[in-house]
Structure 1
């Protein structure tokens, strides 16, 4: 089979990463866009950490976090399409991604003889990796899992603001309103107490550095030295020598269109109405041409019945036109005001935020969830050592009046112990504590199956299997039947083609890694469990 650039462990780890939201003041957005980049786009090439981080689990054991990547997006409150099926725009985008990533002519190939034919097959499949990455980026946040929910929010204000602290207060209030007012269903937030991290953006070419330092000292008194940062950028004059070659690390990220929470025709976010937040969105879809989409009309996981609601025909695809008002074209010549020292400052900022802000925040919430769950279950030891005592489930889930009267329409109240276990499992997975994550997923799976909450159960089965595989070292055998059951429940019971395909993609890579190529080919079409 063709070889992928990433190892299967890297692929699985990068498929689920901590999500960070961004709210910018208009002035901070202006400073960033001098480089033809929104603030989230500015950070994107530097979101993989080059050094190790550490957290302590509920048993106070030190856990190492390696090669961590975070995902940074601008807040977008626009509703997304149904999580059970991709939108026409997303189908179009996936087709174009595949078309633009075909192997080069003359690329290395392997010859296979079958009957009277000699088949020359490419050694690499860049189109598949591009499709897979774009598909996983397009996954909408769902109520049954928390992996795609935002853990933190960066509040970004320029040092040139008349009163920066007032702008921070406005952005903080705006984030709180979006999350807690009940006015918006999107984006989704991981926990009620979202981490707010205050960033003072200083334009070296036009700002007063002494004033910026003074404001930053005040910020450290207000928000704590672990909760704020002074980021200096734009050290290079726009009129710098033309022959000065500065790398552009953004192009390789911006041409991969970020589909998360984005649809053509999206209007400006609700932050525009709140006063103080920028109306610009980072990571929006790139402008596409008027040509017909090259995406496939059928899908290997498509239901035979009710196909009208889950598939797109060519006529529908031809009618889908990108809305220029909601789509930002990919810029060229990014980072023209940034020096290599600025690149290093941005990289250092992301590392400081993650190591001093995000990871401690996750560690604290894992401990709090563990304490709450132990208290509710009446256990004397932590979940890590007492998981086996949990089986039996908690309060039965409630039916939502607006949901269909089916097993997949079951909803748990936000405070339900079953959801807290799932939340703790997702937190542990995101910081690579796969042993504890597996224990939580396994417990949640038992509870969900007991309650016949099949969508929740499928999600727990899927992630329990991934966690078991990522433990490595023969800690426990990979439960392939968990993945098979999850695919079946997503597809047949819950009729959710998007989650079924995600599960099939993950399963195929794991099976391929184990040399089970026949099973990997068969997994997406599995019918019997």
Structure 2
């Protein structure tokens, strides 16, 4: 087994949740190798005051950022009624850059997956502590944010420390399911995401003070909690699939307990199950993943000296990838002095959230949550850090180096390019064995057309796994070049889902790479890759969830680049709505996102020309109309106020629009927001507004009578009200051309 690389001094990140003590890791120096004795000290330390290169994300609800806003400051006082506003924390909580926050969220969504396979006695020990799903449920929340800084080496040997690294613990049985699971067909993921958002909005409506769409008092660009929930849910729906290896197990934790009468035999049997038994992975998953053996010691009932002897025997039989985890078997309650609340899982799938209670976006009562003893929390965090820093990361680094040297370098050379051209045009070099289908299986002869995958030991599968490993190790330059190498191979084999995935992740890797993408030509290349990926996903594979994931990742990463890339991000958000990939709540959130993309483009040379504030205001009005249709007047009020602020440059001294039609539209929206709020609270309109209110006006009453028949301002992508999609797109193109002509003038 390979040993980990060099490391740097470790500083502790913020703790997971209130009540969890802050821990410090032992200091390691660049010329010092990691060893099996490295662990986490239990001494409490003060939090670090200086900013970190990549700010770690907290799992507490009080640290959630607030609503997206333009980078420009708010001017003037809005005339929109402030309905149900409440703060989610101190104004200083919004100082973190939203682009880095969203970028970190995307990067952490592609984390290494660790399978968990525990013996029956281990699961029974954990169930006594209150975790009904056993050992996997116990350690799963703690793996989403590994304590301390992790140092990772890239393909050229340079090292970089990351403080927001995490892993995903899953039941190993989930990785053994077929990609066409009938359960996924009965419960499509996109409607489930909409149900999660609706459930969350209903929970927010029941809170005193109303929903949680708040403005930013500092005028900073932040992300709304509801949109962050939507993005997390979209990135959590992926399951193990042949076309990408992000959900394939990188390692597996094989656990037994000190209660077992024959622990070593139990570990051998568990390993046999993962190798040839009922936990064996399918043919499209590489079976040579890392096995990590854990002995769970019962602190309340078993002798530690006997467990230590047994642990020494484990290391002699199974190697150094072993750990002794000391836990108490008694259940912890909140009244205990050393009780620590278990953090909630951030990466729960939509089906898991619908089965349980919804995650509150604000800090609510903690009833119903599980608690652990402080010693158990420290032991689990030490175990996870040792697993990741000393086993998983070195294992992935070694595999990337081996595959890059043996497979990728050969394919990048002259002989590899010649063989690729031969396979495409002449059919030579078709692989070491015939196709599994007997019908050619594509140009390479390695693609199984009947089942839609490559065997795990084929070059195409190894290169895709290498690219995904490099992406999870955050070596985006290597991953981008490897995805680019694979695109033509998948196209020659007509492996369209693999083809779409390679184009998608090539674009994502290029956008995540901090170097480059400064010219218009490179931005056009990104657009072409996204266009190809979306077409292959949707038209050739009928895969709506992956199409929406591709477009949403493009929106967020292009927006973080700023400038013309932010305007391109707005285009892809509109494309997702035009294709009908999002449900009504998602349309409201994406409409707000389009507004934020246009608002983030600064004017040229400090003048007003080149900015897109009017477009941003228009999309904010469309978002307000969408929230009104969904019966969310408080969210509509926030969007309407944002639109008025964006339109401040074109308003007259009296605050009115120069165009009478626009002024009428905004007044109707204000009126609808006010009436919708009163109706949602079950209040009588005339009693609440008084006799002098404009609602008593005869003309306004007539407007209210026609309000239910009011035509929506934003059109459904599937029902464009008599206008074809090319007509709608032509109108947008004309609007863009008009802005460009104005800039040239």
Query: TM-score range with shorter-chain normalisation?
Result: 0.7 to 0.9
1:141 is aligned to 240
Separation in structure 2 between the aligned mates of residue 334 and residue 464 of structure 1, nearest angstrom: 41
Deviation at 1:165, TM superposition (A): 0.6
Deviation at 1:5, TM superposition (A): 9.4
Separation in structure 2 between the aligned mates of residue 202 and residue 286 of structure 1, nearest angstrom: 32
1:70 is aligned to 167
Following superposition of structure 1 onto structure 2, how do residues 350-389 of structure 1 map, counting pairs within 5 Å? 350-373=384-407, 376-377=410-411, 379=413
2:533 equivalent to 1:437: no
Separation in structure 1 between the aligned mates of residue 570 and residue 244 of structure 2, nearest angstrom: 30
Out of 342, 349, 360, the residue aligned to residue 383 of structure 2 is 349
1:446 is aligned to 488
Deviation at 1:30, TM superposition (A): 1.2
Deviation at 1:230, TM superposition (A): 0.5
Separation in structure 2 between the aligned mates of residue 426 and residue 2 of structure 1, nearest angstrom: 31
Out of 564, 570, 578, the residue aligned to residue 518 of structure 1 is 570
Separation in structure 2 between the aligned mates of residue 157 and residue 506 of structure 1, nearest angstrom: 40
- Aligned CA distance change for structure 1 residues 474 and 371 (closer, same or farther; 3 Å): closer
TM-score by length of 2: 0.53
2:151 equivalent to 1:151: no
Q: Cα deviations across residues 39-70 of structure 1 (Å, max 9, x unaligned)? A: 22211232112333334445444454542110
- Aligned CA distance change for structure 1 residues 215 and 75 (closer, same or farther; 3 Å): same
1:32 is aligned to 126
Out of 555, 567, 578, the residue aligned to residue 508 of structure 1 is 555
TM-score by length of 1: 0.72
Following superposition of structure 1 onto structure 2, how do residues 294-333 of structure 1 map, counting pairs within 5 Å? 332-333=368-369
Out of 198, 203, 207, the residue aligned to residue 298 of structure 2 is 203
Q: Secondary structure at the match of 2:276?
A: helix
Higher helix share: 2
Q: Secondary structure at the match of 2:259?
A: coil
- Aligned CA distance change for structure 1 residues 432 and 72 (closer, same or farther; 3 Å): same
Out of 321, 329, 340, the residue aligned to residue 247 of structure 1 is 340
Deviation at 1:421, TM superposition (A): 1.7
Separation in structure 1 between the aligned mates of residue 251 and residue 339 of structure 2, nearest angstrom: 31
1:480 is aligned to 527
Out of 270, 284, 308, the residue aligned to residue 171 of structure 1 is 270
| Structure whose alpha-carbon radius of gyration is higher | 2
Q: Secondary structure at the match of 1:67?
A: coil
2:718 is aligned to none
- Aligned CA distance change for structure 1 residues 378 and 83 (closer, same or farther; 3 Å): farther
Whether the aligned pair in 2 keeps the contact of 1:370 and 1:424 (CA below 8 Å) is yes
Separation in structure 2 between the aligned mates of residue 22 and residue 179 of structure 1, nearest angstrom: 14
Q: Cα deviations across residues 412-464 of structure 1 (Å, max 9, x unaligned)? A: 44433222221211110011011111110111113223444322221111001
2:193 equivalent to 1:94: yes
Whether the aligned pair in 1 keeps the contact of 2:255 and 2:296 (CA below 8 Å) is yes
Whether the aligned pair in 2 keeps the contact of 1:438 and 1:467 (CA below 8 Å) is yes
Q: Secondary structure at the match of 2:164?
A: coil
Separation in structure 1 between the aligned mates of residue 311 and residue 246 of structure 2, nearest angstrom: 33
Q: Secondary structure at the match of 2:241?
A: coil
Whether the aligned pair in 2 keeps the contact of 1:393 and 1:446 (CA below 8 Å) is no
Separation in structure 2 between the aligned mates of residue 506 and residue 427 of structure 1, nearest angstrom: 19
Separation in structure 1 between the aligned mates of residue 470 and residue 289 of structure 2, nearest angstrom: 17
Whether the aligned pair in 2 keeps the contact of 1:145 and 1:459 (CA below 8 Å) is yes
Whether the aligned pair in 1 keeps the contact of 2:155 and 2:478 (CA below 8 Å) is no
Separation in structure 2 between the aligned mates of residue 390 and residue 402 of structure 1, nearest angstrom: 22
2:307 equivalent to 1:216: no
2:24 is aligned to none
- Aligned CA distance change for structure 1 residues 154 and 445 (closer, same or farther; 3 Å): same
Whether the aligned pair in 1 keeps the contact of 2:112 and 2:168 (CA below 8 Å) is yes
- Aligned CA distance change for structure 1 residues 197 and 393 (closer, same or farther; 3 Å): farther
Task: Give the superposed CA RMSD.
Answer: 4.0
Out of 242, 259, 275, the residue aligned to residue 160 of structure 1 is 259
- Aligned CA distance change for structure 1 residues 57 and 512 (closer, same or farther; 3 Å): closer
Mark the runs of 5 or more structure 1 residues left unpaired by the alignment.
Answer: 112-121, 264-282, 290-330, 381-385
Mark the runs of 5 or more structure 2 residues left unpaired by the alignment.
Answer: 1-66, 70-97, 359-366, 424-428, 580-724, 727-745
1:334 is aligned to 370
2:113 is aligned to 19
Q: Secondary structure at the match of 1:253?
A: coil
- Aligned residue-pair number: 441
1:466 is aligned to 508
- Aligned CA distance change for structure 1 residues 63 and 441 (closer, same or farther; 3 Å): farther
Whether the aligned pair in 1 keeps the contact of 2:323 and 2:383 (CA below 8 Å) is yes
Deviation at 1:471, TM superposition (A): 1.1
2:96 equivalent to 1:2: no
Q: Secondary structure at the match of 2:355?
A: coil
1:490 is aligned to 537
Which segments of structure 1 move beyond 6 Å, counting only runs of 4 or more?
3-6, 386-391, 397-400, 405-408
Whether the aligned pair in 1 keeps the contact of 2:236 and 2:349 (CA below 8 Å) is yes
1:117 is aligned to none
Separation in structure 2 between the aligned mates of residue 428 and residue 238 of structure 1, nearest angstrom: 41
Out of 150, 174, 186, the residue aligned to residue 53 of structure 1 is 150
Separation in structure 1 between the aligned mates of residue 250 and residue 237 of structure 2, nearest angstrom: 18
2:355 is aligned to 286
